[in-house]
Amino acid sequence: MDLQFGALIIGDEILSGKRADKHLTKLIELLSARGLTLSHAEYVGDDRPLLTAALSRAFDSASVVFSFGGIGATPDDHTRQCAAQALGVPLALHPEAVALIQERMRDVALEKGEAFEPDRPDNLHRLQMGNFPQGATIIPNPYNKIAGFSCAGRKGGAVHFVPGFPVMAWPMVESVLERHYAPLFNGPARQERSVLVFGVGEATLTPLMQQLEATHGAIRVFSLPSVDHAEHGPHVELGLKGPAVDVTAAWPELLAGLHSIGAKTSTELVRDL
C-alpha cells in the first residue's frame, strides 16, 4: 500500500469561524505538485483530551501527518504537551531548538538596539517553544528560527508539527517533504476517470462497484450523487481512481456494467492525479 498523508488542523479559532483555515487546500497543493495525495484530515479545537486522542490516532496510523498550530508557549497552546502524552514520553528542551530561539532573541535585541538578557523572565519563557516530546527532531523555521518538530509514529509513520501561521508553516512543510519523502515524488501515473450516470440510483450501481473493486484491487470506485445540479439535473458521477494502468484496464468493465443495466451516461471525464 502507498504511504498515506494526512492533516491535523488545530485551533478553536478555526472551529468557531473566527479564522478561515487555509492549510488544507495548501497542503493538497504542495502534495499534488509532487505527485502525492492527501488521504485524510481532521480538525480539533484547543481541548487537551480531544487533541491527545487525535494525536494518538495519528501516531498509530502509519501515515505521515502534518499538524498545524498550537506549538507556541501561551496557555492556549497545548500541542506539544498533548503530543508527549500521546507518545507516553516527557517533554524535554531540545538543545538545537533552544540555541535557535536564543539566536532569534539576540537578533531582536540587536534590531531594537538593546542588550540581550537571556535570564530575563520573558526570554526564559520563550525557551518553552523548544520544549518537545523526548526524541523529537526539529523542523527549521526560515521565517523566525522558532523551530517546529517531528515525532516518529508507532507503526512506521510520523507526525510533523508546524506553527499555525501560513508564512511559517508552508515553507516548513515543503522542507519536510523535500528532505524526507523525495523518493516518493512523481511515482507511477495515477488517474481518475468517471462518467455521469442518469436515471439509475446508487443502490443499483453498488453491485457493479463492489465487483470492480474485488476484481481490480489497486483501484477505488467512487460515486458522487447530485440531486439538483443546475446543468445536468439529478445524476450520479461514477468513476475509478488509482494507478493509470489499472484504471485503464478496469474502465471497459465499468462501461459494460452500465450498459447491461441500461444506464444513460455522459462523455468520459479524465483527470490526472
In the chain the domains, ranked by start, together with CATH numbers, are 5-184 (3.40.980.10), 190-272 (3.30.70.260)
User: Burial, 195: exposed, middle or buried (Cβ in 10 Å; 0-12, 13-18, 19+)?
Assistant: buried
Query: Is beta strand 235-243 parallel, antiparallel or unpaired with respect to 220-226?
Result: antiparallel
User: Burial, 90: exposed, middle or buried (Cβ in 10 Å; 0-12, 13-18, 19+)?
Assistant: exposed
pTM: 0.82
User: Burial, 16: exposed, middle or buried (Cβ in 10 Å; 0-12, 13-18, 19+)?
Assistant: exposed
CB 62 within 8 A of CB 153: yes
What integer pLDDT is reported at residue 170 of this predicted model?
98
What integer pLDDT is reported at residue 272 of this predicted model?
82
Q: Using alpha carbons only, what angle is made at residue 2 by residues 203 and 166, rounded to the nearest 5 degrees?
A: 95
- Length of the chain equals 273
Query: What is the block-wise mean pLDDT of the chain (273 residues), using blocks of 10 residues?
Result: 89 95 97 93 96 97 96 92 97 96 92 88 90 97 96 96 97 98 89 95 95 94 93 94 94 96 92 82
